[in-house]
Structures are given as C-alpha cells and as structure tokens.
A and B are shown apart, each in its own frame.
Chain A
Amino acid sequence: MIFSPTLALDPISQFKVQKWIDLRLGGIDISFTNASGFMLLGVVLIIAFFGIAARRGELVPSRLQSAAEMGFGFIADIVRSSSGEEGLKFFPFVFTLFFFILFANLIGMVPYAFTTTSHIIVTGALAMSVIVTVVVVGLLKNGLGFFKLFAPSGAPWYIYIILTPIEIISFLARPLTLALRLFANMLAGHIMLKLFAGFAVALVGAGTIYLPVALLAFGMGVALNALEFLVAGLQAYVFAILTCVYLNDALHAGDH
C-alpha cells in the first residue's frame, strides 16, 4: 500500500519512514520514501502558491497576492535587520529555507501527513547547507581574515589560549543547535499531540465514568494543536533569523 496512515496509538510510529518506490543506484538505497514525497509536496505547494499569487501582478493586489507580498516583505525585513543591506544578496537563500521549513511544518499539522522536519537528517542537511554557505562566503569575502572569528581582537595574548577553543566550539555548535532545535521541537510537539489525542480516545473506550477526563485530554489536545501551529511558524522564523545572524558573522568576520 502506497499511502498507509498509521492508526496505531503509539506516538512514535507516525515518524516511520516508509518506502513508496524502491530505487537503487549502484548499491545505494535512493528509494522514494514518504519523507521524499512530503518534501516534494511542500516544494510543489510553495511553487504553486507563489506562482498563482504572482501570475497577475496587479497594482491593487488580490488577497493571495498580498499574502505572497507579505511573505517577501517579512523575509526581506529579517535579512535587512540581521545582516544589513549587504545580506540581501542571500535573500533567495533565506527565503527558500524559511518557506521550505514553514511548509514542511504546516503540512505536518495535517492529520496523517508526515512531518519531514521531525527527522534530524532533514534538519541536519538544512543546517549543513547554512553552515557550508557561511564558511564559503566568509572565506571568499574575508580570505584568511575569516578566522578572526575565532580570535576577536582587543584581548591580551594569554586570553586567546582560552578564548580560541571556546570560539571554535561555539562555531561548531551552531549547525548542531540549528538542526537540533527544529528537530526536537517538531518531534516533541507531534509526540505530545499523538499522546493526548490517543489518551482521549482510550479513555472514551474505557467507559462512561472516564468521560470527564477524556474531555480534559481532548481539550488539552486542542490547545496543543494551536500551540503546534505557533511552533511551526516560530521555528521557521528562528531558523531564518539565525541563518541571517550567522551570515552576518561571515560577512563581517574581518572587522571583529
């Protein structure tokens, strides 16, 4: 069965990666899984959304067009406020990241959908793309001056013995925190949702005496649902803003 939603009560099976189309390339498993499917769906939805919104660029925008324009303006503001006018070169990158994560998170809120951002391999790949961009841009822009990032000026020499390892560690921790934050938030949120929803169903099944408790669990599930929508947006925002902050560091590494 290609699309088999998990009806099980256990909260983990929703994260199971299933193969939809079995593919192999020279011994490497490149199967088209539900993760690939839902990522593709996200990309298609983003392209469709902005394609339809921008199809007729009207002076007085339609509702859809002004939503798309707000998206552009929002990301442009983030980029400009965190990394200045110079950072606007990376507007397409940040824009893509933000909307990819936002759509992946929101698709995950649809019942039976698969949340691609709840897998650390996905968020890890996104974080690596950010950090590789930061390193490449930093080296191209500042040359070896990029490494001044690890030795901020204005300290006596003996401080650097302690400061440099600390700066190197905090730089290396960046991709890890980027990936972990998004992954952990999505994973934990979806486990909570499933737990409370499953709890409500199980209590209804247990007998009428548990009905008030079931209602309580159900109410909790509804509240968590709202919270998860907030988290979906907030995490995309955090990812975008931290990308801008790191890009800013790369652009201005020389003048620390």
Chain B
Amino acid sequence: MSSEQPDDLSDQIAKALADREAREAAKKRKQASDDSTLSAGAYALRFGIEFVASVFVGGFLGYWIDQWAGTHPWGLLVMIGFGFAAAIRSIMRAYRELNARALKISQGISAPDDGTTDA
C-alpha cells in the first residue's frame, strides 16, 4: 500500500472515479425503468375510478339542473352523456400521457441523444 508510486495513485483515483460514474449511470438507468413501471401502475389505477366518477358527477350535475330549472328528465340524460364523454376523454388523455412517457423513457435508455420526439 505504501509502496505505490504517485502516478499509480492518480491512475487509481481516476479509475475509481470513472467506475463510480459508470455505477451511478447504471443505477440511474435502472431507477428510470423502475419509475416507469411504478408510474404505469399508478396511471392504471386512475382509469377505473376516473370513469365512474365522471359519469357520477355528470349525473349529479344533471339532477341538480333538473331540480333548479324543472327540466326533468332531460338535464339528467344529457349530463350523463356528457359525463361519459368526459370519462372517455380523461382516459384518452391519461393514455396519451402514459404513451409519451413510455416513449421518452425507452428512447432515453436505448438512444440518449436522439432528440426527435417530445410528445
């Protein structure tokens, strides 16, 4: 240990630093893919409840409009329709976000300096 030349020592330090950098990069990559699976689960959990809640809110609004304007049953019917539309829209939006994110991550891992898409 004490017999190391100064040159060797600086080489060793450089090597250790390079090693650490590589290790950290690998860790970051792994973390990114872990994050993506976690987020995929998180996004998937959004879908079901978001759908039901949108229809429910639409129906509630419709009922409330009917009570207020006396347009029984048209407010309820129309607003439930809008509720369905809102549900589909929010699911499509979540799906688009998920797709964009997956695309970004897969490109980030396979080709870091691609720079073509940013959806």
The residues of A with any CB-CB pair to B shorter than 8 Å are: 162, 165-170, 172-173, 176-177, 180-181, 184-185, 234, 237-238, 241-242
Q: Is the CB of A169 within 8 A of B61?
A: yes
**Can you sample 30 A-B contacts with CB below 8 Å?**
A162-B82, A162-B85, A165-B82, A166-B82, A167-B86, A168-B61, A169-B58, A169-B61, A169-B79, A169-B83, A169-B86, A170-B54, A170-B86, A170-B90, A172-B57, A173-B54, A176-B53, A177-B50, A177-B53, A180-B49, A180-B53, A181-B45, A181-B49, A234-B38, A234-B41, A234-B42, A234-B45, A237-B42, A241-B42, A242-B46
- Which 5 residue pairs spanning A and B have beta carbons closest together? A169-B86, A170-B86, A173-B53, A176-B53, A166-B86
- The interface residues of chain A, by DSSP majority, are classed as helix
Write the chain B residue with the least CB distance to A238: B42
Contact between chains at A177 and B86 (CB < 8 Å): no
Main secondary structure of the interface of B (DSSP, over half): helix
**A169 cross-chain contacts in B, Cβ below 8 A:** 54, 57-58, 61, 79, 82-83, 86
CB distance from A84 to the nearest CB of B (A): 15
The 8 Å CB contact of B86, one of A173, A180, A234, A241, is: A173
* Contact pick for A176, options B39, B56, B82, CB 8 Å: B56
Minimum C-beta distance from A129 to chain B (A): 18
Chain B interface category by residue count: 20 to 34
- In the docked arrangement, what's the CA distance between A168 and B89, Å? 12
Min distance, Cβ A233 to any Cβ of chain B, angstroms: 9
- Residues B53 and A238 in contact, CB atoms below 8 Å apart: no
Q: What is the bound-complex CA distance between A176 and B83, given in angstroms?
A: 13
B57 neighbours in A (Cβ, 8 Å): 169, 172-173, 176
The distance in angstroms between the C-alpha atoms of A181 and B44, with both chains bound, is: 12
Residues of A within 8 A of B56 (CB): 173, 176
Residues of A close to B53: CB separation below 8 A: 173, 176-177, 180
Shortest CB–CB separation between residue B97 and chain A, in angstroms?
Answer: 9
Instruction: List chain A residues, Cβ under 8 A from B87.
Output: 170
Within 8 A of A (CB), among B13-71: 38-39, 41-42, 45-46, 49-50, 52-54, 56-58, 61
Once bound together, how far apart are the Cα atoms of A168 and B31, in whole Å? Answer: 37
Check B79–A173 contact: CB distance below 8 A. no
Which residues of B sit under 8 angstroms from A238, Cβ to Cβ?
42, 45-46
In the bound assembly, the distance between CA atoms of A44 and B58 in angstroms comes to 40
B38 touches A177 (CB 8 A): no
Q: Determine how close the nearest CB of chain B comes to the CB of A163; give it in whole angstroms.
A: 9
Q: How far is the CA of A166 from the CA of B84 in the complex (A)?
A: 9
Chain A residues within an 8 Å CB radius of B79: 165, 169
Given A173-B86, A177-B46, 4 other A-B residues pairs in contact with their CB atoms under 8 A: A162-B85, A166-B85, A177-B53, A180-B53
Q: Which residues of B contact A170 (CB under 8 A)?
A: 54, 86-87, 89-90
**A173 to B52 alpha-carbon distance, docked (Å):** 9
